[in-house]
Amino acid sequence: MKYESQRVAWWFFATSMLLLTLQLVYGFIMGFAHMGLDGLHDVIPFHVARATHTNLLVVWLLCGFMGSAYYIVPEEVGRELFSVKLAWLQLISLVVVGVVAIVGFHFQWWEGRKFLEIPRPLDWLVVVNVLLFLFNIAKTMWKSPRITTTSCVLFFGLLMAALLYLPGMIPTDHQTLDSYWRWWVVHLWVEGVWELIMGGILAYLLIKLTGVDRELIEKWLYVIVGLTFLSGILGTGHHYYYIGTPRYWLLIGGLFGALEPLAFLGMAIYAIAMAKKGGRAHPNRNALAWTIGCSIMSFVGAGFLGFAHTLPQVNMYTHGTLVTAMHGHMAFWGAYAMLVLAIISYALPQLTGRKLHDTPLATFAFWASNIGMVAMTLAFAVAGVTQVVLERRVGMDFLTVQKELEVHFFGLILAATLFAAGIVAYLVQFVRYGMPKGDVIGDVDETSEVPAVSTAAEALS
């Protein structure tokens, strides 16, 4: 760690971890409700648990991205953060908005639109908050000694994510139009601009962890950005099949949706190739595992399982079933949750000056959470395919089918328990690292095995 102001990132990471914990609690509430054990129904009905679970997910990821930017950008551009106070103000206001939104859901104060449930007045506060964040990052980059491709891609991703929040706020009482704009936010976030954030953070981690030349890593970053835009923008069409939009979306969505896995495949090949090429035996193997794991699991969850239901002929049957939940879990986990956990695993030793990354607990956290998530995905897949066959092919009633599916959720709960054990281990690690303190001492992980070419290139860039 080179700059004192990077420490503010720790508070974003800590908040992010708290929200993740709460997200899992609501996941379990829904898992049990699906099993027929819905004792909390009067206090937390299913729709409230669902909105809380998914919104907490989005907020802890955004908090993690913001922390990542506050950590990465000063180092990339070579100066202290513009304002640490502003970062604090922004974190506190984000938490206040988040808490009000979550409490509001429990009192039926919500918009009822999947993923965009936050009521309109709070949406505006989110916009102001994100603008404050972007202002802080932009001012840091402005007139800095250098600008790197990595920091630009990261900034552009964050800026576009903020702008793309706005279409979700366009007022309409037309259901098709409402759906149309909702997907600009949901799809263009996760299959568009968030991929740029992912590309930027992955590039930073690969530069730090593998020792491969910055120029080479950043050249690949352009390819990833190109593939993302080529497929992701028109790929939005895979949500416009049967919602009242014109028929040409069947062709556009089918074609470009099918191309989308390429960007994730590119990311996986890129990360693996750089790790193999890198001569550096960086001591933080755990952060490298999360980084490479992120690129692979995102390909499986987003690319492979996304492709599984992207064609109109398939989506006609699977739309809105547990097949979607299967894909949603693995995709969000692989691409974005693992990304945040990767940067935290890398940053904690730097922020706190303690080297705990090689402990058995850190290894357990990685494997238990990943094996648990694969098992959860399988449980959702079995339940989802059964649901599609019984409900959409056989024609049984929705609620009768849900009753048939209860048994599969026992499997989900078992898998989720293993997953949660991994996350608890990760959180224990986080707490053991302690608070960020001590002097700024440079990279605690640097080793003498850094190839000369890489240090020279980094110094020049």
Residue 324 interacts with which of Fe ion, ligand HEM, none, CB < 5 to 8 Å by class:
ligand HEM
Residue 17 binding ligand HEM, by CB under 6 A: no
Q: How far apart are CA 344 and CA 321, in angstroms?
A: 33
Nearer to ligand HEM, 8 or 198 (CB): 198
Among 332, 346, 426, 430, binds ligand HEM (CB under 6 A): 332
Is 205 strand, coil or helix?
helix
Contacts 24+ apart (CB under 8 A), 382-387: 382/408, 382/411, 383/322, 383/408, 383/409, 383/412, 384/318, 384/321, 384/322, 384/323, 384/324, 384/325, 384/326, 385/323, 387/321, 387/322, 387/323
Considering only residues 232-251, where is the footprint of ligand HEM by CB under 6 A?
A: 238-239
Q: Which residues between 391 and 450 bind ligand HEM (CB under 6 A)?
A: 416, 419-420
Nearest to 281 by CA among 454, 418, 442, 135: 454
Select 320 or 395, whichever has its Cβ closest to ligand HEM: 320
Residue from 200, 303, 349, 384 touching ligand HEM (CB under 6 A): that is: 303
- Mark the segment that binds ligand HEM (CB under 6 A) among 134-142, 185-193, 276-284, 445-453: 185-193
Beta carbons within 8 Å of 243's beta carbon, 6+ residues apart: 176, 179, 180
Structure tokens at 120: 């309109």
Judge contact between 198 and 339, C-beta under 8 A.
yes
Min separation Cβ 21 and ligand HEM, Å: 10
CA distances from 35 to 30, 195, 381, 411 (A): 9, 35, 16, 10
159/233 Cα distance (integer angstroms): 16
**Residue 372 partner contact from ligand HEM, Fe ion, none using kind-dependent CB cut-offs of 5 to 8 Å:** none
Tally Cβ neighbours within 10 Å of residue 272.
13
Scanning residues 73 to 132, which ones bind Fe ion (CB under 5 A)? none
What residues numbered 100-139 form the site for ligand HEM, per CB under 6 A? 114-115
How big is the chain, counted in residues?
Answer: 461
Q: Answer yes or no: are the C-beta atoms of 157 and 194 closer than 8 Å.
A: yes
**Distance in Å, CB of 74 to ligand HEM, minimum:** 27
Task: Give the shortest CB-204-to-ligand HEM separation in angstroms.
Answer: 19
* 255-271 per-residue burial string, b: 16 or more CB within 10 A, e: under 16: bbbbbbbbbbbbbbebb
User: And the tokens for 385?
Assistant: 């395919």
Which member of 190, 201, 292, 351 binds ligand HEM (CB under 6 A)? 190
Asked if 320 touches ligand HEM (CB under 6 A), the answer is: yes
The amino acid present at 383, given as its one-letter code, is: A
Q: Among residue numbers 33 through 92, which ones bind ligand HEM (CB under 6 A)?
A: 34, 50, 53-54, 57
The site partner of 319 among ligand HEM, Fe ion, none (C-beta below 5 to 8 Å per kind) is ligand HEM
Nearest distance from residue 306's CB to ligand HEM, in Å?
2
Report the residue from 34, 50, 182, 187 that binds Fe ion according to the rule CB under 5 A. 187
Return the closest-CA partner of residue 67 out of 119, 134, 6. 6
Q: Is 327 in the site for ligand HEM (CB under 6 A)?
A: yes
Task: Answer yes or no: are the C-beta atoms of 105 and 48 closer than 8 Å.
Answer: yes
Buried b (16+ CB within 10 A) or exposed e, 306-344: bbebbbbeebebbbebbbbbbbbbbbbbbbbbbbbbbbb
| Shortest spacing between CB 143 and ligand HEM, in angstroms | 34
Report the residue number, 64 or 283, with the smaller CB distance to ligand HEM: 64
Residue 261 interacting with ligand HEM (CB under 6 A): yes
Which single residue is written with the structure tokens 């395919």? 385
Helix (H) or strand (E) holding 159: helix 149-163
Query: Stretches 146-154, 162-170, 208-216, 323-331: which one binds ligand HEM (CB under 6 A)?
Result: 323-331
- Find the part of the chain contacting Fe ion (CB under 5 A) among 4-12, 182-190, 248-256, 432-440: 182-190
For residues 339 to 378, the per-residue mask of contacts with ligand HEM, x marking binding by CB under 6 A and - elsewhere, is: ----------------------------------------
- For position 325 contacting ligand HEM by CB under 6 A, the verdict is yes
Q: Is 182 in the site for Fe ion (CB under 5 A)?
A: no
Binding site for Fe ion (CB under 5 A): 187, 191
Binding site for ligand HEM (CB under 6 A): 24, 27-28, 30-31, 34, 50, 53-54, 57, 114-115, 186, 190-191, 238-239, 257, 260-261, 298, 302-303, 306-307, 309-310, 315, 319-320, 324-325, 327-329, 331-333, 335, 337, 416, 419-420
